[in-house]
Structure 1
């Protein structure tokens, strides 16, 4: 199972903010710390603010800070919400022709169940579980490609 790049940036942003819960961190600083382009982080910050996972203060001394709700957010719930794909596999060709096996296919259902099992396992983790002392040693994050 592979996370979307957007879900990955959102998760990294929350992990960084959760590791410094009493600090306001600018979007530019987040981008530098997690090794992701600024515009990707800006989109993630907007999404996380809309979900009330972070609080954003504007202005010269502004920045983002994780909220209590953000710390309690289940990782699986967030990843499930950010995964906009209908299926794990694409059963339609680039030209729009459906797979000839689709009527009898049991693979799609199995892959959906496997994806849900993946998210269910992540539901056991809260963002705060990812931001304890051990995770602070792991920062900064590897660069996304």
Structure 2
């Protein structure tokens, strides 16, 4: 299974915003930090706001912030909200024309694998994937991290 760019960028956006809980973050700064398209990030922002993961504030001093604490943002739910198609193989689709349908054991195996994948993600929240503060600054392009000096 391969996640879409929408899901990839949604998770990155949530991580970035989660690393900056005391201020609003902008599409421009997130796009710059990750080297991704502002236009595509606008679509991601819209989807996340529609689904209640982030709050957006319009205007000159606007931006976005998490709509809830990172511990309440379940990764499985985010992936379900951002993925449009979990059809791993043709027989998962309504318009299935596979000649092996009904004779092939892969459908059940793939369905079980997908269920386990999503169930595994359900066990994690945004808080689980946020980097420690020093690494968070480096990911945001704020300053380089010297790994030999990071304290645990």
Q: Which runs of structure 1 show a deviation greater than 4 angstroms over 4 or more consecutive aligned residues?
A: none
Aligned-pair Cα RMSD in Å: 2.3
Provide TM-score, normalisation by structure 2. 0.79
Structure 2 equivalent of residue 122 of structure 1: 121
Greater displacement, 125-134 / 56-65: 125-134
Q: 1:137 to 1:60 in 2, by over 3 A?
A: closer
Q: What whole-Å deviation, never above 9, does each CA across 1:71-107 have from its counterpart, x for those lacking one?
A: 5111011112322214211349xxx882211121221
Number of aligned residue pairs: 138
Q: What whole-Å deviation, never above 9, does each CA across 1:101-122 have from its counterpart, x for those lacking one?
A: 1121221221121011111111
1:69-108 residue pairs with structure 2 within 5 A? 71-91=71-91, 98-108=97-107
Q: Which has the higher contact order (CA 8 A, sep 6+)?
A: 1
1:56 and 2:56 matched:
yes
Provide TM-score, normalisation by structure 1. 0.83
**Structure 2: runs of 5+ lacking an equivalent:** 142-152
Report the Cα distance in structure 2 between the residues aligned to 1:97 and 1:78, rounded to whole angstroms.
27
